[in-house]
Amino acid sequence: MFATQATCGSHTNIDSYTSSVLDHINTTIDSVTTQKQITIYPNQKPWMNKEVRILLKARNTAFRSGDLKLLKKIQTFQNTQNLVFIFKKNTCVIC
């Protein structure tokens, strides 16, 4: 398919061939995948992912609301799961 487009006489133009193949690949990628912008800050720790942020936000909200029962439940869950330690262990090379 691509070789016939890039063939001129008896020889194949490698630049034209490469261009047509890359255009096809990029078109296929654009039609199948979606683009997502992820903002990473220089002081952001690699183990601070979405799950950890959600748990910390829930803990802080429970603390600010004064709901001690909910706060204790969240803290117990965080301690039993030990999520921060697990994420640090799996992602941080230096830690």
pLDDT score recorded for residue 69: 86
Whether residue 91 is predicted with pLDDT greater than 60 in this model: the reply is no
Domain positions in the chain are 1-35, 50-91
Q: Report residue 6's pLDDT band, with 50, 70 and 90 as the boundaries.
A: low
Question: Mean pLDDT throughout 61-65?
Answer: 87
C-alpha distances in angstroms, 31 versus 26, 37, 74? 9, 17, 42
**Cα separation, 48 vs 95, whole angstroms:** 14
If DSSP codes are grouped into helix, strand and coil, which group holds residue 12? strand
Q: Which residue has the higher pLDDT, 51 or 89?
A: 51
The single-letter DSSP state of residue 11 is: E
pLDDT score recorded for residue 5: 62
Q: Which of 15-19, 45-49, 69-73 has the lowest mean pLDDT?
A: 45-49
Stated as kind and residue range, the H or E segment containing 56 is: helix 50-65
Q: How far is CA 78 from the centre of its chain?
A: 23
Provide the CB-side half-sphere exposure for 31 (13 A, CA): 6
pLDDT score recorded for residue 86: 64
- pLDDT per position as a tens digit, 34-43: 888 878 778 8
